[in-house]
Amino acid sequence: MSTSPLISGDYSCDPRLVELLYTSDPYALSTQLSDDQIRLLLPSLTWLAMQKIPKSHRILQSAYLVKIINRFNQTDDVIQLLDCNFQAISHESKKLQRARLKSNNPSSIDTSEFGQATVQERCLIVTSLLLVSSSGTKTTKCPYCKTNQQQEQQLFDDQTYMEYLGDLMCILLLELSSLFKFETFVPQLLHSKYGYYYLFRLLLNIPSISLTLIETVVRTSSSLCGTAATEIDHARYQLVLTYVKLYPNYKNRILRLCFQRKTLLLILLELFDESTVNILTSVLTDIKHRHWFNKYMKQHNHQELIRTLLTKLFTFYKKQTNLAPTILKICGILHIHCDVKFTQSELSQLLMILTSMSNITLALSFLMIVPTLIESVEQTVIQWLKHSLEKDVSEKLLMIGIFCSANYLEPLNAIVSNTLGFNCVIRPGTFTHLRNLLTQTVFTTDILIQRFPLIPVTKNLSTSKQSSHAFLPAHFICHLLSSGSCNLHHVNMNKWIYDQILLCVEPVHPIMLTLINEYVRACLRQDYPWHLDPIYSKDIEDFFNDNPKITLITTKTLLLLYLLSYDEQVLKIIPTSTNIQRYPRKLFDLIPMPYLAIKLTDENYSSIAPQLGRLMMEQFPYVFLADHVLYLEADRFHPQDDQLLLDVLANTLENGISRKQAEQWRRLWFRAYAVSGQQLTLKTARVLLKNSSLTYDSLCSDPNCLLRFPHSLYNYSPIIQIILFIMRELLIASRYQFDRFINLKQQQQSADLIRINDLKPEQLKESLIHAQEGLVIQILLDALDEYDKIASSAACRELQGVICSFIHQMFISNPVLAKLVHLQGYESQLIKPMIYSVPSAHICLDFIPQMLSSNDLNKQIFAFELITELAQFYPIKRALLVTKLSLQVYATLLRVLPFESRIRFFCRTYRFLTNLSSIFPPLTQYSIFVLQQAARACSLPPSSLPKLTWSSDDLSSPRNIGV
């Protein structure tokens, strides 16, 4: 019995076709399939029969299967095809392919005699045609477009050979599947008139390649395929639809491939069911795929598809209520990003879903992007919201309420987007009415404040992508603090804020700076009778004691920022309020401020670095001394045991140590200072002065007391360097203490501050600071002079380098000190070391004229000794001018001084006259004249006069000149 399959229309898509082909049960085939269906499977059934039956015994075995296939006239043709020499066909096809490539003539296949050709020749022709498109020749424009091979295309479009070619292709793919490339011959067949028929036959007869075949069909389609715009697109669409019906287990896999390739959207919408909801959600969530979806809808105006899609969604909800979040997400994206307008019936369905949900936050978020939902049922929705709030209030719901009341649309957008699972924008125009309704009836201030304890702190709060919305609880608290709601309703926030600071990590989120500033202001606001409690000092002290050294740096940095900000605000309001308590000084001693100052340059702290750096510079400027940083860069940082360092210092005071041990102690001390800071400074001072009751404030009040350490320590220059580093810290801290005291007095407008000669407080402060710092330098110079008398020259030079380096730093930071120290004077034998070891000593040239004009002879003598060494070391123009002036003053003094004073003056300063000829040769004649005048004034015989030396023109050895 022979039947011909329909050329147009739908072929049977019964999944039993594939199942029965797998089983090859003759009885099931004959009873469950029609003849038309069996005809479609004829090539594969015949191939299976011939696989089981040897050629010489075909009639002897599986007679029933053979009986079924023999009912068709085409069976003999199929058997002839199976009897071909496929190895020879493969060899000849490859040979023809190489010849075509070599001659670049793909049209060398003659298909006009296909009807008269033998079976072997027919197989060779079709194989060659399929390989022409697979060879990638130049005549093939692209694998997805029509080729120029018109002659070959006519054969596939010939209705006469359509059935035969379908059988032949099935046989070829069964026997020579490895010879063909699906990516190229599949588009070739699709471009033929009966491409759907050929590929459909292949899907049915060769299940092993069906998945690869249909995936190739999907991959070679365009983004708008499936719209039936062309016959080829329609063929692809029908093929995929047919395959999904034949192989339902692969439906999700094929639909996901369509999603990935952004093609065949119509398939996704038609086969949309509960199992493919996630695929549609992925299409609408991704920006690129959503653009593809919108483009498809706009070009084809498939409004009916959208209505059908929404109807299916509501049907799914009735079956599975747990799909509500996904349904709302899809509807929200369609409304916001695809401009879908809901009908009244659809709005009613959505409202029913919202009011039956347990997730009130999700429902409210959806209401905000579709505020038209409640236009006619406002009171019903409000009552539902109030009732839900009485049962449970989540963290997000509270934040939605506070952002609505504050009209903060940006964070509100962020939290709504986070809740719904896609980026959305709340439109102010349509949202205004809903916001007013919520703030007046649902999210009142009283409700928000009462629900505050429900908000949990954010773990690992930072600016990392993982916590992009984690700042919202802190943002909520900031609003409560800035609005004064906490002060009005007597709500303490100190525990929550302290816990949040403890849970912050790098990189620091900018919201923490705002949170700390708002909290400090709320604690000290003067326009409210009730104030928030600050973070308890006991909690902060326990934290630093439990986490010593350099652990939890982020938390320590934020606590330091809080303490400094609080202290700054307290100082501003102390004059108007006497009951404000400040944090004790010992808290700051526990903080590793020098190490935290280094962290300010880290990108992770960029959000708080400007304010924290300013506060540290204003209140603790000495933490920016860079000496310890040099050692942290040179060596890997390892926190040292402070007590071990102090024990070594105490042993040094009693028994002494070696030079190498002292140098090692210095390096370790600097490294430990980065962590311990003021604490190590105070402990070191206590050991040096043997005073365990010493406090840091007492050190700042009298820094000079630090220099009362045992004189034996001057034998260890490395230790002296540490002591002078501490001295610099104390002097800077003392200056800040003066500043704070003066500012406090000025704010209080008190008359307690003593005024001397009507000096202003600022001038008095500078005078006290200069006197204090000048005294330190004088003590060091005296100590250096005493040490020079008892120590070796090498040890003295080493100590001189350390002390003079300290003096140079003092002169650079405050040039007035140089003038003060030299006006006070010091031992003459220290002038030369000072000039040679203090590079900034050249500034003394500026005030030598003032010293010369003094009425004090000792000060004038010191000035001449000083200019002698300065001119020797700095023979510059400025020194020449000062020297000329000094010569004139010298001559004047010789005339006006009494005889005894004149003798003492000349004996101390004659080197000034004798050295001028070698320093400044142009002044030689004048210096000789003054020297002669001195001889006469002092009644000295010429033989007792000193020799005058000067340098020759070639700068060789000086020669003596008789006066």
Q: 560-600: per-residue pLDDT in tens?
A: 999 999 988 888 876 555 567 888 888 888 888 888 888 88
Q: Report whether pLDDT(228) > 70.
A: no
pLDDT-derived band at 108 (thresholds 50, 70, 90) equals: very low
pLDDT the model gives residue 720: 92
What Rg do the C-alpha atoms of the chain give, in angstroms?
49
pLDDT the model gives residue 148: 39
Q: Of the given ranges (359-363, 397-401, 688-692, 700-704), which has the lowest mean pLDDT? A: 397-401
Q: Report whether pLDDT(628) > 80.
A: no
Separation CA 219–CA 231 (nearest Å): 17
Separation CA 719–CA 690 (nearest Å): 16
42-52 vs 75-82: helix crossing angle, rounded to 10: 60
In DSSP terms, 818 is beta-bridged to none
pLDDT-derived band at 756 (thresholds 50, 70, 90) equals: very low
Mind listing the pLDDT tens digit for each residue in 707-741?
988 888 999 999 999 999 999 989 888 888 887 77
Q: Report whether pLDDT(89) > 70.
A: yes
Mind listing the pLDDT tens digit for each residue in 168-211?
988 888 888 888 888 878 888 888 888 888 888 888 888 888 88
Q: Report whether pLDDT(145) > 70.
A: no
pLDDT-derived band at 624 (thresholds 50, 70, 90) equals: confident
Separation CA 312–CA 328 (nearest Å): 13
Q: Report whether pLDDT(112) > 80.
A: no
pLDDT-derived band at 953 (thresholds 50, 70, 90) equals: very low
In DSSP terms, 504 is beta-bridged to 461
- Tokens describing residue 887: 């010569």
- State the average pLDDT over residues 213-242: 76
Q: Sign of the C-alpha dihedral, residues 290, 294, 300, 305? A: positive
Greater confidence (448 vs 667) lies with 667
Q: How many CB atoms lie within 10 A of CB 294?
A: 14
Helices (H), 749-841: 761-790, 793-813, 816-824, 831-837
pLDDT the model gives residue 1: 37
Mind listing the pLDDT tens digit for each residue in 512-523?
999 999 999 988
- State the average pLDDT over residues 2-17: 51
Could you tell me what percent of the chain has a pLDDT over 70? 84
Closest CA to 255 of 267, 270, 239: 267
Mind listing the pLDDT tens digit for each residue in 401-418?
878 877 878 888 888 888
pLDDT the model gives residue 942: 59
Mind listing the pLDDT tens digit for each residue in 152-165?
567 888 888 888 88
Cβ-proximal residues to 935 (8 Å cutoff; 6+ apart), any chain: 942, 945, 963
Separation CA 416–CA 396 (nearest Å): 9
- Tokens describing residue 657: 């140590």
- State the average pLDDT over residues 673-693: 87
Separation CA 479–CA 486 (nearest Å): 10
Q: Report whether pLDDT(281) > 90.
A: no
- State the average pLDDT over residues 434-448: 82
Q: Report whether pLDDT(264) > 50.
A: yes
Greater confidence (147 vs 68) lies with 68
- Most confident of the ranges 146-155, 349-358, 605-614: 605-614
pLDDT the model gives residue 808: 92
Q: Report whether pLDDT(958) > 80.
A: no
- State the average pLDDT over residues 506-530: 89
Residue 959: which H helix or E strand, with range? Answer: strand 959-961
pLDDT the model gives residue 948: 52
- Mean residue pLDDT of the chain comes to 80
pLDDT-derived band at 2 (thresholds 50, 70, 90) equals: very low
pLDDT the model gives residue 104: 60
Greater confidence (394 vs 87) lies with 87
Strand runs labelled E in 34-88: none
